[in-house]
Structure 1
Amino acid sequence: MKYFVSVLVGAMSYGILSTIVVHAYDRGFTLGEVVGSQLSFGFLLAWLLAAFIKLKQKRGTITGGMPANPPAAWRKLEWKHKLLLVLAGTPSAVTGLLYYHSLKYIPASLAIIMLFQFTWIGVVLQAIIQRKRPSRVILLALVVLLIGTALAAGLAAPGGAQFNMTGMGLGLLSAISYSLMILFSGKAVPDAHPAYRSAWMSTGSVALVFILFPPHFLFNGHLFEGLLLFGALLGLFGAFIPPLLYAIGIPHIGEGMASILGAAELPVAVLLSTFVLHEHVSGLQWAGVVLVLAGIALPEWMKQKQQKQRHTGPHSLQA
């Protein structure tokens, strides 16, 4: 259960970000400053945690961290593993850049809907990787997702919705990179300690952003003009808590269940957009949000139901 909860809390943390970013833009901060400050704080927190875990392990006061296994159960990271984790961390930075940039063009409630196209994109990626056609349940779920997306985006509203295509395109691209982030979070050195995995992945994220957007904010005084608070909040809820909790939970529950639990980000983001940013979200759009959540949950629900039937079938025959 703790692995389910860890991924769920990580996803809910992501749902807070768009509201914070919109307020940062209102204060005049740029995309590079917002993402750079977020990942800088996330990088700092991740490595502080890794150093704390290492110190405790040396003193023998903990048994390996999260989950509680002996230290020998965790893979010792060699340079090839560290490099792999650094590369696996780059989709997180790309997702943040694309998603936050889309918020300049479209409302936060619509941007999160576009980000959530990662659900069907993830299905397509898995089908390509496994060279296997999606099942009928998956195809049904995709239909539900697309209908829900259309409703949530306001396509069914009178007169339809007016879209900024740049914002929509950026949101869709963020969904692709988010799908890769979930994939790599589960596949990249899963038997290494989550704290160390998170630290090296955060290194890849911050390095990529600093290459694209040199961190002038560290020296020009903007940190003390309000960016420090925004960066700290975004770093905590975007660059530290979710990657760490995903690194803990996803290797144990799988990418499929992680996608379902990751859906918690959607209602959190839409609720905050409604009550904090005062964006209008109609009842029809809320119905679309519910359909999106249902489409995400449907495949895993059917899978669990089939497994339960197979498990209880022999016992019922014996009885």
Structure 2
Amino acid sequence: MKTWHYALMVFLGGCSLGILSTFVKLAYAAGYSMSEVTGSQVLVGTIIIWIVSFFIQKKKLHGIQTLKLVLAGIPMGLTGLLYYQSLQTLEASLAIICLFQFIWIGTLIEWIFYKKCPSKGKILSIVILLSGSVLSAGFLGESIESISWQGAIWGILSAFTFSIFILLSGIVGKETPAIQKSALLSTGGLIITFILFPPMFLVDLPTVIGIAPYGLILGIFGVVLPPLLFSIGMPHVGPGLGTILTASELPVAVIMSALVLSEEINMYQWTGVALILIGIVVGNRKF
């Protein structure tokens, strides 16, 4: 597979994450709580990926290897919990900007762990991406007094855990088949989610039936596809360029809000979407 194919995998993984916010909003509007939404997402997604893995040839792993992959999935589960927690006290536009800080955090992690000083082109790309995120999230209309700093802290923490997950998905279990690796990563996310938020909703049949459609969509695009695509592409592009590629999340979130939720998107926001796409191209010119 050519290098740009791996870059495309990571890009599509970011796109799948961008779909989540729209359906989370729909689930909240339907009256479901954060624990019900996140619980159904990780449960359905993990079940799907394990079912698929049973039909794929797997590699025999030692206990330590299995444990490492399960532990590497914990940051993925924490990212969803922290981000959804930030949405409880923060406007969606501001929460997205907080999560979007993984762009520079990922480059910083690569600098620290891989001793790779970011190039001028990568720094330019990050500046463009962050500028685009401010515009596309509609941040210009917000006042400083409306910001919940508690929510902002949760959002920034979700950016750190997402960056850590991107890093780990590229270095842990490199020789493990992607489906098998994704199943173990998803299991780690499921375990930490159910430890922090016990799935009490599972004993209420009407709730289970009602949340199932949301859990199916969120599970596929939030649990199945991202770790699978990142497992394939991230080892080949690295965490620095990988985080830039996953910036595709925010433009997709904006477009989905317009198409599905019929939210009005102004010219500033469309300009921001264009800037983010330009930033991704600038950061990955070699592909």
Letter in 1 for 2:108: V
Counterparts of residues 1-319 of structure 1 (less than 5 Å): 2-54=5-57, 76-131=60-115, 133-157=117-141, 162-301=146-285, 304=286
Give the AA of the match of 1:176.
Answer: F
Deviation at 1:99, TM superposition (A): 1.6
Aligned-pair CA distance for 1:158: 9.0
SS state at 1:289 partner: helix
> 2:77–2:189: 8 Å Cα contact kept in structure 1?
yes
Q: Mark the CA change 1:227 to 1:32 in structure 2 (over 3 Å): closer, same or farther.
A: same
Distance verdict in 2 for CA 1:178–1:222, change over 3 Å: farther
Task: Report the 3-state secondary structure (helix = DSSP H, G, I; strand = E; otherwise coil) of the residue aligned with 2:32.
Answer: coil
- Please give the root-mean-square deviation of Cα atoms over the aligned residues, in Å: 2.5
Deviation at 1:95, TM superposition (A): 0.8
Evaluate the alpha carbon distance shift between residue 106 and residue 92 of structure 1 in structure 2; reply closer, same or farther with a 3 A threshold: same
Maintained 8 Å contact 2:129/2:247: no
* 1:217-253 alpha-carbon deviations (Å, 9 max, x no partner): 1112244441111111111111112211221222233
The answer (yes or no) to whether the contact 1:109–1:270 under 8 Å persists in 2 is no
Separation of aligned partners in 1, 2:120 and 2:12: 31
Separation in 2, partners of 1:270, 1:197:
30
Structure 2 match to 1:72: none
Change (3 A) 1:269 1:156: closer
Runs (4+) of structure 1 exceeding 6 A deviation are 158-161
TM-superposed CA distance for 1:162, in Å, is 4.1
The DSSP-based 3-state class of the residue aligned with 1:32 is helix
Change (3 A) 1:141 1:156: same
Structure 1 counterpart of 2:42, one-letter code: L
Cα 1:167/1:271, change in 2 over 3 Å: farther
Distance 1:127 1:98 in 2: 25
Structure 2 counterpart of 1:169, one-letter code = I
Q: Determine the structure 2 residue equivalent to 1:67.
A: none
Is the deviation greater in 154-163 or in 256-265?
A: 154-163
Q: Partner of 1:53: helix, strand, or coil?
A: coil
Could you say if the C-alpha distance between residues 292 and 110 of structure 1 is closer, same or farther in structure 2, counting changes exceeding 3 Å? farther
8 Å Cα contact 2:126/2:244 also seen in 1: no
Q: Distance in 1 between matches of 2:216 and 2:129?
A: 34
1:226 match: secondary structure: helix
SS at match of 2:31: coil
Q: Which runs of 5+ in 1 are unaligned?
A: 58-74, 306-319
1:61 corresponds in structure 2 to none
Contact kept? 1:109, 1:279, Cα under 8 Å: no
Partners of 1:260 and 1:296 within 8 A in 2: yes
1:314 aligns with none
| TM-score after normalising by structure 1 | 0.79
SS in structure 2 at match of 1:103: helix
With over 3 angstroms needed to count, the CA separation of the structure-2 counterparts of 1:128 and 1:246, relative to structure 1, is same
Q: Cα offset for 1:45?
A: 1.0
Q: Which runs of 5+ in 2 are unaligned?
A: none
Q: Please give the secondary structure, in 2, of the residue aligned with 1:121.
A: helix
Task: Tell me the equivalent position of 1:312.
Answer: none
Q: CA deviation at 1:153?
A: 4.4
- Structure 2 length-normalised TM: 0.87
